[in-house]
Amino acid sequence: MTDPSPWLVLAGLGAFHGINPAMGWLFAVALGFNRDSRRVVWLSLIPIAAGHAFSIAVVLAAVLALGTVLDRRLLDMSAGIVLLGWAFYYALYGHRHRVRVGMRTGMGGLALWSFMMATGHGAGLMLVPVLIPLCLSASPAPELVSAGSLSISLAAVAVHTGAMLAVTAAIAGVVYEWLGLGFLRRGWINLDLIWVAALAATGLLLIF
């Protein structure tokens, strides 16, 4: 808990997710323009963050569960193989499986969309290299809870989601108030390619 680097990584990845238009700010701005309401833009950020946080929490729960029965090295290798497989799948088929949600969706539909998008991107998987050493000690399984893994895990989700929400809100506000969506037609960084490379590199790092 005294080493700030894992928390900075969690926040940095959250910021990266916030920059990615596919993770929420583009939908929030589009809803605001569609309904001609600034309030809708800001309200949409709540279910977007909630869905993202739940997706991260599901992965974290799986990591904690596996950490009680698997050796740390085996857990690292297993996570690395999953990350490599996800990177390969996403590179080939990720663009074909976009979650379709219309402009008439409510807050519940928006939260579900955010959960599916974060899960489909493998957002939680990218956090595994940080979550394993941060949330799992070398203690036997019965001592995991007493070691504070649950509170650390909740803090990890909060830090990551908070950074994601802050960046998403900042970009959504700037685009809605000043830029508009026209700038996307003039060019945008292909964040999907960066994401695939990051997934694969993280997978290799865990394996080797």
What are the boundaries of each domain within the chain?
5-207
Q: Sorting pLDDT into bands at 50, 70 and 90, what band is 96?
A: low
Pick from 68, 206, 61, 74: which is nearest to 139 by CA? 68
| pLDDT confidence of residue 127 | 92
Give me the numbers of helices (H) and strands (E) for the chain, helices first please. 10, 0
Asked if residue 91 has pLDDT above 60, the reply is yes
Sign of the torsion formed by the C-alpha atoms of 103, 105, 110 and 113: negative
| pLDDT confidence of residue 138 | 46
Across the range 98-111, mean pLDDT stands at: 77
Pick from 132, 117, 8, 140: which is nearest to 62 by CA? 132
8 vs 1, 14, 20, 114, CA distance in Å? 12, 10, 19, 23
Q: DSSP code of 137?
A: -
| pLDDT confidence of residue 10 | 95
